[in-house]
Amino acid sequence: MPKSTTHSNDLLGLIFLATAIADLAQNDGSGPATDLFLRLHTGALAAGDPGNTSEATYGGYAALAVARSGAGWTTPAGGSLSNFALAQFVECSSGSNVVTHVSINKASSGAGTCLYSGALGASRTISAGIQPQFAAGALIVTET
């Protein structure tokens, strides 16, 4: 049974903007997460895979924190939202990876919980001097 668009928007608001769903769910009151973390991958993540599956390993790589608020994500509409601002990783200092996927995670490192993942429109070779980035609005998350 599919969700309504309103409920899809509500779920995205809860996860990405820490907005309570009236009479149903609220943000963790004792120590809510303030950031979500973008991670780059060299392969697809299957349902249930941890956030570090096929994670990039080039020199200087680290997951990118994105605020769990309107400063990090747009207001959900039509069952989707996107990154509000430029999401820019640290420049590669050595080595290289062919990056094919991106994920959104609860943790900045280790296995952690992967919330969403998807393929890039085209793979990207990241090598020394390249700074991976996603323009504002380029990362679209859809809840169906």
124-141: per-residue pLDDT in tens? 999 999 999 999 999 999
Q: Which residues have C-beta within 8 Å of that of residue 114, sequence separation ≥ 6?
A: 45, 49, 50, 51, 53, 103, 104, 105
Other CB atoms within a 10 A radius of the CB of residue 80 amount to 16
Residue in the block written with tokens 């570090």: 52
The residue extents of the domains of the chain are 5-142
Please tell me the pTM assigned to this model: 0.94
Q: Is 104 within 8 Å of 47 (Cβ atoms)?
A: no
Reported as a single tens digit per residue, the pLDDT across 31-49 is 899 999 999 999 999 999 9
